Amino acid sequence: MTLNNIQGAFVQGAEAYGRLLEVFIDGHWWVVGDYLENVGKCTKRLGANAYPHLYGGSSMSSGFRGGSPEISGYATPSKEMDRRFPD
């Protein structure tokens, strides 16, 4: 780049700024898209736990993850609670 061709310097500077702006905007769209996707997944998961009948669950107690094994039917306790946790 020479000093006698000032228009070339301006055009090259504008092109460089345009490329920088394009990468900046594209990166932000990527981050915002990932954020919105995760918010949607979390909202769906919370909704399925709060309203299991809307997502195919049968009863309120079996819709929650981490609920009582006796109620959900996924596991059965092997010992009595008094024997496992004496006072």
48: pLDDT strictly greater than 80: yes
**Residue at token pair 């092109």:** 15
Q: What angle do CA 77, 84, 64 make, to 5 degrees?
A: 45
Average pLDDT over residues 69-87: 64
Mean pLDDT of the region 9-16:
84
For residue 81, the model assigns a pLDDT of 67
> How much is the pLDDT for 37?
93
CA atoms within 13 A on the CB side of 31: 6
Q: What pLDDT, on the 0 to 100 scale, is given for residue 63?
A: 47
Q: Look at 20 and 55; give whichever has higher pLDDT.
A: 20
With a pLDDT cut of 70, the percent of the chain lying above it is 56
The mean pLDDT value of the chain amounts to 75
